[in-house]
A and B are shown apart, each in its own frame.
Chain A
Amino acid sequence: MVFQQTAFIVIFAVSAISFIFSCYQRLQLIAIGAPENRFDSPWTRLLGMFIYAFAQKRVLKRPYGVNHLVLFWAFLVLLLANGEFLLEGLIPGATLAAVLPATPYHVLTALFDIVSLVALISVVFAFARRIFFPPEYLKNDYAKPASGEALLILGMIATLMIAFFLLNGAHMALGQTDQWRPVSAAIAGLIYGLPVDTLQGLAKVAWWVHALVLLAFMNFLPRSKHMHILTAIPNCYFRSLEKPNTQPKEAFTKGARYGVSSVDQFSWKDLLDSLTCTECGRCQDLCPAHNTGKPLNPRRIVHDIKLNLLRNGPILSVSYKGDMPLIGRATDGTISEEAIWSCTTCGACTSVCPVLIEQMPKIVKLRRHLVQEKVQFPEELLSLFENMEQRSNPWGIAPSERTKWSTLLGDRTFKPGETEYLFFVGCAGAFDSRNKQVTVALATILDCAGVSWGILGKDELCCGDSVRRLGNEYVFDRMARENVALLKERQVTRIVTQCPHCFSTLKNDYRQYGLEIEVIHHSELIAELLKSGRLKPSKNLNQGRVVFHDSCYLGRHNDTYDAPRAVLTMVSGGQPGELGRNRENGFCCGAGGGRMWMEEQTGSRINLERVKEAIRQEPDTLCVSCPYCMTMMDDGLKDLGMADRVRVKDIAEVTAEALGH
């Protein structure tokens, strides 16, 4: 007995030290990251941690998530049981019974027993899922659903539960305990009457199996994807409280570095993210780039950052250069430039990740390096950048043309102190011939409702959305400063935009530049005007079957899902139909993140994929709420030869028609 206890103390000490050491190593790796303040608003963070980590809000969005929630909570409860188990192994007699009154203790042991059974069933279910019906999104070029690692972990958990039942069952059969343990009691019933020696032997074997597997499990965690058991909760606490597309500004001081080219330039939170990925595949499942055969997979990005960190981290803490490139020819731990440029910044990955990993901002950081330090980007972007700097619009059209759409409306210049809303027209709304029609429609609607509005005319500048998402932060920084100064100078207090990209940039990004004013997207304003009765749709125009396509920058980036639907319901005589993937799960049109200005050569085209999905709903009118979506859907329909069967319309156009215009 004494020998056994001594042996256990030694084994325990060794594995505890080894566990603490690997955790310390991981912490050291995270600590090489750049500083970032994620310590503000503790209450908001705690609340988020509860919702996402403990209540597993996002895990539960998929049916299988229930099983994970059960396992997670079983794990928490059994943490106590296993703590007791280890302590008793070290100090015989040190059990909860020593501190708790009999009844609560019995209730607790009964709970442990039942929870263990529930966990065992969960594990069996998880096994079955991984082996017999794995979902597509678990598959990846570097991980199989039934990988050795996944099965080993599940096997360990199952072994722990079975050993636990056998141990308690043997004790009960020996009459050594009066605890209430329904499942163990059933096992005891089965082995009751075996010779005492056998039962004692069984108890001893079960105890050792349980002890050793438990310690092995503990040591395996930090070295596997199950690290998330340790990091997911803090990762949820330290989540970004900003909108996912609103990345931190960069400081343009001399001698600074811009963007990320080496893993230690990521923030510590980025590195914590990389160690937290559960490899659940949800982001991969929704990513429009991955779904159309591009070499980008957000899950792979996070994974490569982790591999790069594991390899370069120890080197970087003593030297300034690692030996595995972060950007280069795609291999384990190295991300290809093509992958970096494939992202539409649609935000599907960041909004689906159960442990709140921020994949897309990492991609933008890599772009910042490529553009600002390397000047390495797809060549189409050169003219975009120059046009933006020179003429403050993506096409390089003369700024004097900005007001062409309004020639029939007379002078509509915003007058400080008089005009209520600044109508921020946006480059597409001012220059693109199809989108100019939307601009006119919105102007008509505002006039019908008697809203006081005005424009900046040829003084309006591009908001800079594309350059920011493309990583040209230096140019964005200058554009943002100019715009904020202009808006302040004109004493603008309320802005309405028809473009979700202008909307999101003015509303979220410019806050970093001290602009705190009301910015509203036309879908919200029109919905409000309709609800308050200031707009009265007279005609019940037959738009046929209407379906709605979500804009990423309106929906996922700003949680505006209902306003455009409400508008369509009020003006088209019924709720709009939904596409297969909608709202949070919506599928990008392919133009965000500056992709609008790039060629799409690899794989199939994102806009075609989306248009085909729309056609499956057999619509007559495909409604959008974004100029980029308009262009992409229009082009897609033309490419499929469907342009005369399905019309693309902005919600403002549908509204204007219902008003009789």
Chain B
Amino acid sequence: MLVISCIKQVPDTTQVKIDPVTNTLIRDGIPFIINPYDAHALEESLRLKDRYRVRTVALSMGPPNTVSTLRKACALGVDEAILLSDRCFGGADTLATSKVLSAAIERLAQKEEVGIVFCGKQTIDGDTAQVGPGIASRLGFSQLTLVDRIESVDLVRKRIKVRRKLEGRHEIVEAPLPVMITVVRELNRPRYPVVAMRLAAEDKEIKVWDNSILKLDVETVGLKGSPTWVSKIFSPQRDQGEIIGDGLGDPDGTAGLLLEKLLAKELLAL
């Protein structure tokens, strides 16, 4: 049985700034990381591999440099890493992205039964949380979102029971396989790679599937297939605010000033 994790390479958002003139993201020299939620999705697929010896595949749609993120997945232990990359896939919104990913999963399913697809609950650069559910509905898989614990997996009876983390409560749900699961951070702690695996990953083959393999209608993928597009990015203006005191020279005094302000505005109470 195949367990797939869908991962996305994202810019390290703590380091991203917005160009105040052009209102675009300054991506120059910003390092890429694996989307933090996807790291948990990947980890859970590896745990199932450790426990049930299922085969694991990491899938990612993105530009060619995404290979470095997939290599990291290999260093952590996935059996196969596939990059879905084609010029016509670029500029995709969540609808078009889920289309390409679903097509790849279907292609994998032709050779081997797909049991579980793990996705992060959302990406830190888009924050839509729609790609995972998109895949589930396209493929007709059961859909379990916001999972923070796998209660049990029964590969013979093909059932899975998980706990979902919702606002103020937990929900235990059971579903038949195949299933698409989106995960939250509490699910697990991603592992750290051993050196031998890192070295092995350095020259592991990473398959690239472009549209000549997936054969999707170019009008339905990428920018053309995306009904949503970003019209503007801007940092919210801060029209109030001031710098008080001398934080470097007199941190204690400055903290005191701040405290007084907060008290005066009744944002804090003694």
Contacts and interface: CB of A to CB of B under 8 A. Distances in A.
Interface stretch (B53-61, B117-125, B164-172, B189-197): B189-197
Contact of A373 (B14, B196, B248): B196
Contacts of A253: 199
A385 B33 CA distance: 14
B199 A254 contact: yes
Contact of A433 (B12, B31, B251): B251
B33 A390 contact: yes
Contacts of A385: 192
Given A254-B199, A390-B31, A436-B248, A372 B194 contact: yes
Nearest to B39: A386
A386 B198 CA distance: 14
Given A254-B200, A437-B248, A399 B195 contact: no
Interface residues of A, number: 23
A372 B195 CA distance: 5
A258 B192 contact: no
Contacts of B200: 254
A474 B198 contact: yes
A398 to B, nearest CB: 4
A382 B248 CA distance: 31
Contacts of B189: 379, 382
Interface in B4-40: 12, 14-15, 17, 31, 33
Interface in A397-413: 398-400
A253 B200 CA distance: 10
A254 B197 CA distance: 9
Task: Pick from B193, B198, B199 the residue with the most CB of A within 10 Å.
Answer: B199
A375 B192 contact: yes
Contacts of B251: 433
B97 to A, nearest CB: 25
A375 B196 CA distance: 11
Range of interface residues on B (Cβ < 8 Å):
10 to 19
B31 to A, nearest CB: 7
B248 A440 contact: yes
A374 B195 contact: no
B204 to A, nearest CB: 12
Contacts of A474: 195, 198
Interface string A339-372: 0000000000000000000000000000000001
Contacts of B248: 436-437, 440
Nearest to A458: B29
A57 interface: no
A252 interface: yes
A375 B15 CA distance: 28
Given A252-B199, A440-B248, A398 B14 contact: yes
Nearest to A436: B248
Interface class of chain A by DSSP: helix
Nearest to A255: B196
A391 B11 CA distance: 12
Contacts of B31: 390-391
A382 B192 contact: yes
Contacts of B15: 391, 398-400
Most A Cβ at <10 Å: residue of B31, B191, B198, B248: B248
B195 A373 contact: yes
Contact of B12 (A374, A391, A437): A391
A253 B202 CA distance: 11
A550 B238 CA distance: 48
Contact of B194 (A254, A374, A382, A440): A374
Contacts of B194: 372-375
B247 to A, nearest CB: 8
Given A390-B31, A398-B14, A375 B198 contact: no
Contacts of A379: 189
B192 A252 contact: no
B258 to A, nearest CB: 15
Contacts of B14: 398
B112 to A, nearest CB: 29
Interface string A566-607: 000000000000000000000000000000000000000000
A399 B192 CA distance: 23
B49 to A, nearest CB: 16
Contacts of B12: 390-391, 398
A255 B195 CA distance: 10
A390 B17 CA distance: 17
A386 B191 CA distance: 11
A390 B15 CA distance: 11
B20 to A, nearest CB: 15
Interface in A232-254: 252-254
A470 to B, nearest CB: 12
Contacts of A254: 196, 199-200
Contacts of B191: 375
Contacts of A400: 15, 17
A254 B195 CA distance: 9
Nearest to B195: A372
A313 to B, nearest CB: 26
A252 B33 contact: no
B252 to A, nearest CB: 11
28 contacts: A252-B195, A252-B199, A253-B199, A254-B199, A258-B195, A373-B194, A373-B195, A373-B196, A374-B194, A375-B191, A375-B192, A375-B194, A379-B189, A385-B192, A386-B192, A390-B33, A391-B12, A391-B15, A391-B31, A398-B12, A398-B14, A399-B15, A400-B15, A400-B17, A433-B251, A436-B248, A437-B248, A474-B198
Given A391-B31, A436-B248, 18 more contacts: A253-B199, A254-B196, A254-B199, A258-B195, A372-B195, A373-B195, A374-B194, A375-B191, A379-B189, A382-B189, A382-B192, A385-B192, A390-B12, A391-B15, A398-B12, A399-B15, A400-B17, A440-B248
Q: Would you list the 8 A-B pairs with minimal beta carbon distance, nearest first?
A: A372-B195, A398-B15, A474-B195, A375-B192, A398-B14, A254-B199, A258-B195, A375-B194
